[in-house]
């Protein structure tokens, strides 16, 4: 099982731990680039004419119904996290519902059996 763990400091979510670089990139994408402004990334994902996007720390690309998330400026070879557009949109919807609206103290995003899940703790 792959994971990334984030902790809320009262204002922002901060990275605590991850099983690998790809999941760390997902945590950075959600905590730093998305924050609670997920709608623009969801719109990008569903736009069939848009193929790339970036935030302050991550880069996104889209190809053949997949989205790839990587560091914006990788120091070595880029580590790409690959997910379907449907998984990406569902993750953004879950992030809004479970994290943005509730502001839990701890967020753990897991990837297991080809599914992303968000678990929260207060």
- Which residues pair with residue 15 across a beta bridge? 6
pLDDT for the residue 118 = 98
Is residue 23 a contact partner of residue 4, using CB atoms and an 8 Å limit? yes
Tell me what the mean pLDDT of segment 7-17 comes to: 94
Give the confidence band of 89 by pLDDT, cuts at 50, 70, 90.
very high
pLDDT at 115 over 90: yes
Q: Which residue has the higher pLDDT, 77 or 38?
A: 38
| E strands present in 1-122 | 2-8, 13-18, 52-54, 58-63, 66-71, 81-84, 106-112, 115-121
pLDDT tens, position by position, 21-31: 999 999 999 99
Give the integer Cα–Cα distance in Å for 45 and 40.
Answer: 9
CA distance 63 to 33: 21
């Amino acid at each position: 099982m792959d994971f990334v763990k984030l902790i809320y400091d009262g204002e922002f979510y901060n990275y605590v731990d991850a099983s690998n670089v790809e999941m760390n990139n997902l945590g950075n994408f959600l905590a730093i680039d998305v924050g609670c402004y997920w709608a623009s990334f969801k719109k990008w994902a569903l736009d069939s004419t848009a193929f790339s996007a970036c935030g302050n720390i991550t880069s996104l690309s889209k190809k053949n119904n997949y989205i790839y998330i990587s560091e914006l400026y990788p120091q070595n070879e880029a580590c790409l996290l690959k997910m379907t557009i449907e998984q990406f949109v569902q993750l953004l919807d879950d992030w809004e519902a479970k994290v943005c609206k509730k502001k839990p103290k701890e967020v753990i995003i897991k990837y297991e059996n080809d599914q992303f899940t968000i678990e929260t703790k207060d």
